[in-house]
Chains A and B, each alone.
Chain A
Amino acid sequence: MKPVTQIRSRTVVLPIDNVDTDQIIPARFLVTTSRDGLGGLLFADWRFDEKGQQRADFVLNRPEAQGARVLVAGRNFGCGSSREHAVWALQAFGIDAVVSTAFADIFRANALKNGLLPVQVDEDAQAALFGAPGAEVVIDVAGGTLSTGERRATFPLEPFARYCVLNGLDELSFLLTREAEISAFEAAAGSVPWRTS
């Protein structure tokens, strides 16, 4: 995972609530054994029509959205399936941060494990971003701020997740350092019966 300290980008605005992970990447594309190559499948059924042609009216297809790395979306982004492919597809497409008033819990956890930033702002900040598509924003991870010109919003980040994102560290490496404690826990819990056949 690459360290992320600051994201500076134009926004692309998708003002829809409850964007579920089936929209972010439809289930029929999950028959893969790799985490790579999913960028072209992001929002596949919203981006492409029945003939596989780009739908000109979908925000991510518009010329002004090209190169935007911050997606501003409606409430409860990433709800539904636990598929981490949703995060991989967003990142492969070029999205570094998603801004919403609320994220589904599993999506948030998956995002942070890959360095995709879930930026949870209040409704006023979201409304301002919805009203100014393509605005230039600066997201500061250490300070937990999202700035647009003079306007500044704050967002929460779980301290350990922030530390991992800032330093490009992954949780598995951290968990592996706790081996002695895990073994001690198992030894103490050894009397609990388990698999019998």
Chain B
Amino acid sequence: MQGRPRTLVDKIWDSHLVSAETAETPAVLYVDLHLVHEVTSPQAFSELRARGLKLRRADRTVATMDHSIPTRLATNGKRALAVGAAGEQVKALEKNCKDFGVPLYAVGDERQGIVHVIGPELGLTQPGFTIVCGDSHTSTHGAFGALAFGIGTSEVGHVLATQCLLQRRPKTFAVEFSGRLAPGVTAKDLILGLIARIGTAGASGHALEYRGSAIRALSMDERMTVCNMSIEAGARAGLVGPDETTYEYLAGRPFAPKGASWDAALARWRALPSDDGAAFDEELHIDAEEIQPMITWGTSPGMGIPVRGVVPDPKGDASLEKALRYMGLEAGKPLLGRKVDVVFIGSCTNSRLSDLREAAKVLRGRRVAAGVRALVVPGSQSVKQQAEAEGLDRVFRDAGAEWREPGCSMCLGMNDDRLEPGQYAVSTSNRNFEGRQGKGGRTFLASPTTAAVAAVRGAIADAREVLS
């Protein structure tokens, strides 16, 4: 098929085929990088033990702890340790990594952090790679022009033992964002706007490729925010073709190629972007200028509205009515001015340095409103150190927010960072599902800027108005 224009996904797919798919059998797809964490791996290691299998490629496997670990300090000033079942799970990861030879960035290691934050910052994530992890937000790594997707625990076992997966080629879906984002509109608004438009199953079976001038103008941190939430549109993956922004980010990272290897890698990477005329299974064009700051009102990431909008009429739809009831909201009413109890700034969607800088811009010289609890949870030890070097921790503390240790924290409430029943939170994370941040808790998803403004106001507000 020499000469046929190919997409980015085609090129990565074709170069990782141990064997191509047939009508009867899926492709055997080779995995370049396998990221492992404490929650979705123990049963996979047990399977390997039961079958007497070894880890195939320790050099392509990296583990960390992020989901269930506490992010607070204990009374002795040291980081609190996981206890009970979570403690057992962390110990299981330590033992599994030791027994099977997996490099582990445990709590206490300066490379520890949320799995989708540390992969990129260490330079483990590279263009053209296939990357998997037992976590749906693995799509984050697609920001580098990698084919990155979440897998279940059975598949974690497959990759540990064989470095391969049985897969059918995903269909492709190009979303072109033309123009530029308006001032005060962020990457989070862009992706929440897309999901509100195409729905939570809008990209099922597809790999999204984000294209266009508005995407090119985004930093790597911002592209990661966009690709991160591809899964909330149902996509198997979300990618951005690599460009100078990508290479500039990667240069000098610990695991990025060096010297002659860098030059060779760069030559390979430059050939990755989709060819002119490459055909996608689906295409959509969005004028980036029309995107407004977004916030979700319901219990699915697709239930998003402009922050100045009103809660929609469910028109008899049982699922929408259920969401309205759970959220305690009324159709036709605005969200502006609605009181919030908690603000969470963190998660693999928005816990990188630039996210913290955006939140700090709002909180500098201001106070978190009385009665509001605000948590700022950096995505990694590296992010935490950089933020502290810039004095951002002081900004947050002075404003009355909690400055935490790195982890997934209140995004999914697996540790003790949870909403109380009935509480409302503005959260920079990725899911507003019922009880996601704590049983009975109610989540509004938004950007770090909108979240920080809500912390200051004690209510949902339009950041453009507050900051102007």
Tell me whether A140 is interfacial, beta carbon within 8 Å.
Answer: no
Verify if A53 is at the interface (C-beta below 8 Å from B): no
Question: Is residue B89 within 8 Å, beta carbon to beta carbon, of the partner chain?
Answer: yes
Interface residues of B in 110-143 (CB under 8 A from A): 134-136
Per-residue contact bits, chain A 32-52, to B (CB 8 Å; 1 contact, 0 not): 111100000000010000100
B166 contact set on A, CB distance < 8 A: 160, 171, 174-175
Q: Which of B149-193 contact A (CB under 8 A)?
A: 150-155, 157-158, 161-166, 168
Interface string of B318-347 (1 = CB under 8 A from A): 110010000000000000000000000000
Whether A45 contacts B319 in the complex (CB less than 8 A), given A178-B164, A182-B18, comes out as no
CA distance A35 to B43 in the complex (A): 7
User: A172 touching B158 by the CB < 8 A rule?
Assistant: yes
Q: Is B245 in contact with chain A by the CB < 8 A criterion?
A: no
Nearest A residue (CB) for B436: A22
B312 CB–A CB distance under 8 Å: no
Which residues does chain A contribute within 8 Å of B412, judged by CB atoms?
22, 27, 81
A190 contacts the other chain (Cβ, under 8 Å)?
no
- A80 vs B86: C-alpha distance when bound (angstroms): 22
The smallest C-beta distance from A36 to any residue of chain B, in angstroms, reads 9
Pick from A33, A34, A113, A182: contact of B163, CB under 8 Å: A182
Contacts of B39 in A (CB 8 A): 30-31, 83
Q: Could you tell me the distance between the alpha carbons of A30 and B25 in the complex, rounded to whole angstroms? A: 32
A81 to chain B, nearest CB (A): 5
| Surface stretch bound by B, among A56-64, A71-79, A91-99, A121-129 | A71-79
Q: Is the CB of A160 within 8 A of B152?
A: no
The chain A residue with its CB closest to the CB of B416 is A28
Using Cβ atoms and an 8 Å threshold, which residues of chain A touch B30? 182, 185-186, 189
Partner of B319, one of A18, A31, A82: A18
Q: Does A154 contact B (CB under 8 A)?
A: no
Interface residue? A151 (CB, 8 A): no
Are A83 and B43 neighbours in the complex by a CB distance under 8 Å? no
CB pair A113–B155 under 8 Å, yes or no, is yes
Q: Are B152 and A104 within 8 A (Cβ)?
A: no
Residues on the B chain within 8 Å of A27, using CB: 412-414, 436
Smallest CB-CB separation from B206: which chain A residue? A105
Which chain B positions have C-beta within 8 A of A81? 135-136, 412, 431
Interface size on B, residues (CB 8 A): 78
Residues of chain A lying within 8 A (CB to CB) of residue B256: 196
Question: Closest CB-CB distance, B378 to chain A, in whole Å?
Answer: 21
A45 / chain B contacts, CB cutoff of 8 Å: 434-435, 439-440
201-236 of chain B: CB within 8 A of chain A: 201, 204-205, 231-232, 234, 236
Q: Which residues of A contact B134 (CB under 8 A)?
A: 82
**A185-B158 contact, Cβ under 8 Å, with A79-B201, A102-B204, A171-B166:** no
Q: Cβ of B40 and Cβ of A83 under 8 Å apart? A: yes
Find the A residue at minimum CB distance from B132.
A82
Question: Are A82's CB and B18's CB within 8 A?
Answer: no
Q: Does A136 contact B (CB under 8 A)?
A: no
With A104-B201, A175-B28, A182-B18: A76-B234 Cβ-Cβ less than 8 Å: yes
CB contact between B414 and one of A31, A50, A75 (< 8 Å): that residue: A31
* B42–chain A nearest beta-carbon distance, Å: 4
Chain B residues with CB under 8 Å of chain A are 18-19, 23-26, 28, 30, 32, 39-40, 42-43, 46-47, 51, 53, 59-60, 67-68, 84-86, 88-89, 92, 134-136, 150-155, 157-158, 161-166, 168, 200-201, 204-205, 231-232, 234, 236, 254-258, 261, 264-265, 300, 302, 318-319, 322, 412-414, 418, 421, 431, 433-436, 439-440
A-B residue pairs in contact (CB < 8 Å), sample of 24: A26-B435, A28-B413, A28-B418, A30-B39, A31-B86, A33-B89, A45-B434, A45-B439, A79-B201, A80-B136, A81-B135, A106-B150, A110-B154, A160-B26, A175-B161, A176-B162, A178-B164, A181-B19, A181-B28, A182-B18, A182-B30, A186-B30, A195-B59, A196-B261
CB-based closest 10 A-B pairs: A110-B152, A33-B42, A84-B152, A31-B85, A82-B150, A76-B201, A17-B319, A113-B154, A193-B261, A84-B153
Q: A33-B46, A182-B28, A182-B163 are in contact. List 12 more A-B contacts (CB 8 A).
A: A18-B200, A20-B431, A22-B433, A22-B435, A26-B439, A31-B86, A35-B43, A109-B155, A171-B166, A172-B51, A174-B166, A196-B256
